[in-house]
Structure 1
Amino acid sequence: MTADNFLAVQFQGHRPHLKAVAHRMLGSLTDAEDAVQEAWLRLARTDADDIDNLAGWLTTVVSRVCLDLLRARKARPEVPMEDRLPDPVVSRETGTDPEQQALLADSVGLALLVVLESLTPAERLAFVLHDMFGLPFEEIAHIVDRTPVAAKKLASRARQRVRSATPSPDPDLAGQRRVVDAFLTAARGGDFDTLLAILDPEVVLRADGGVLTDGMKILRGAAAVAGQAATFQRMATASHTQPALINGITGLVNTIDGRLISVMSFTVTEGRLAAIDILSDPDRLTQIDLTGLQP
C-alpha cells in the first residue's frame, strides 16, 4: 500500500467523527460534507509526517472550516439559517452504520440544532467541541484565537442558552416511542383532548415548508399546538407513516405513493411532547438520504 493510499484509509476511518462534528457545527449535511472534503484536500497538501496526532489535526481543520462558514453566514443576513430547520439525519431505530451512529450520538435532535443557530460562531464552536466532543479548552482556544479562559466563557454562555431554550429528551427510546404512538393515534382520530393531554404546556411546534410557505412557522403552547388537530389528522390519514430516528430521537417519516412528504421529530420530556419539528419543504426533502431506513 502506498503512503497516499494509507493516508486515505486513515482519513476514511476518521470521516464519521469529522462529519458528526461538522453537522453539529453547521446544521447542514451538505455543508458538513463540504467541510470534511476540504479537510481531506488540506491533508493531501500537507506532509503527514509532520502531523503527530492525525485525529486532532483533522478535527482542528474541520472546526476552522466550519467557523469560517458560520461567520460567512452571519455576514449574509439575507439567507438566515435561523428561519429553517436544520437537516435531519434519518435512520432506523436499530442497526445504524458507523457514520450514522456518530451523527446520532448524544441525541442531538433538531430542537437543539435550532437553538445552536442562535449562538455566535465562536460560542457554537466552543459548545460543540467541548460539551459534545470533550475537546479541552486549551485546544478550542487555539481554534478560535482566544485564551482558554475566554473559550471556557464562550462555552458557558452557549450552555446557558441551550439549557434555557432546549428541553432534554427522555433517555428511554421505547418510552419516547409510546408517547409518539399515542400522538399518532390521537391525530388519526382528530382527538383534541387526548392531544392536549400528551403535549407539554410549553410545547413548541416548528414547521418548515420552505419558500412556498414563507419559511418556518412556530406555534407555542399546548392549546395552540392541539388546535392543529385537523391538520395532524389530514397528515396521519393521507400518508403512509413509518417510525424512524430523527437525529437520534423518535420521529416519523411520512410518504404518499412512495414520495416523501414530511419528516417529523418529537422531543419527549417527562412523558410529554415538548417539541415537534416538521420538515415538509419539497426541495429539501428530495435531498434527504433514506437509505438508513432500509433493513
Structure 2
Amino acid sequence: MTIGLEWAEPAASNHTPPGWPIEIIDLKPSGKAPKRYGPDAFRFSAALTLSVILPRRGWTLIKTTKTYAYLRPPSDQMNQPFRISIAVPTPAECLALAQRSFAKGESWIGQIGEWPAWYFHERNQDMRRLWRNPTTGEMESELNPSPPVSSLHIGEWGAWEATVTGTGGNFALGVLPPSIKASMDAGVPHALLFEGGVRSAELTQYERNPEARRLCIAHYGAVCQACDLAFEQKYGAIGADLIHVHHVTPLSMIGEVYQVDPIRDLVPLCANCHHVAHQRNPPYTIAEIRNAIARQAVHQSGATRDAVEHRASLPNP
C-alpha cells in the first residue's frame, strides 16, 4: 500500500480543492468528556479527523485515544449542535477519484482535502466452503470465486464520510455486499444436524434507559427510520408499539456511563434494519441503509421492466 498519493491529485495538497463545495456539517459529540477535563469538554468519535480539523477552527484538543477525541469548543460556540464549514467532495468527484485510483492500479492511504482517505484495489473476495465427507470422514472443500472488489473511503464515521465500491472498474456510491457466485451444491450430502444442547456463557450487558427509549419513540414515532415500516400498519393491533431503538454509537464502543440524548443518540429501527445496521462495526448509518434500499428498488424495477419487455417481444401462441 502506498502512503499518500504519488500522482498529481489536486485534492491531496489543498484543503479546499477545486470543485468541492463548502458545506455546513453538524458535529454530534458521543457524550461528555470525563469530569476531570471540565464541564465544557466533550467526547467525539472520528478521533483521527476531529483531532486535526477542530483545532484549526479554534477548538482545544485535550486528549486523543484510539477511539475518541476529547475537545473543548471555543467560548463563543458552547451551544449544540456544533457546526463547522468544510469542503467536501461531490458524489461525482468521489466516483471520479475511485476511477482514477483504479486506473493507477494500487492501494493507497492519505489525505484528500481535510479528510483522511484510503483506497483498496481489487481485494480478493473468494470464499472456500468446507464440509466433512460423511462416508470417508475427511474434510473436503470447494472454492467459490467472486470478483475482486475495489473501494474508496473518504472521511470518518462520526464526522462525515463517503464510500465508493465497485468491481472491474465499475463503481457506485455506498457499500456493496460481498458477492458469492456459486450456490451451495445440492448434491453434496450433509451430516445429521443437532440443536438444543445447553451451555453456559458469560456476557457483558449494558444498561438501557427505558425513559430514553420512550422519549425517542415519542419524537420519531414507532416507525423504522430506514425503511419506514410501521408494525401497527402492517400487522394491526398486535403490532402496536413494536419497534427497536438503535444506539447510533453502540454502548460497547462508549464503554462507560454517559448522558444520552434520546433524539440524537437513539433512532427507531425495525428488527430487519437493526440487524443490517450491525453487520458492520461501526454500524451502517441510517443514510447508508436508506441508500441501499433505494438502490435495490431501482435494480429490482429495472429487472422487472426487462422481464416485461422480454415477454412482450415473444410471439403470441
Give the TM-score taking structure 2 as reference length: 0.25
Q: Which has the larger radius of gyration?
A: 2
Q: Comparing both structures, which one devotes a greater share of its residues to helix? A: 1
Q: Comparing both structures, which one devotes a greater share of its residues to strand? A: 2
Answer 1 or 2: higher relative contact order, Cα 8 Å, separation at least 6: 1
Give the TM-score taking structure 1 as reference length: 0.26
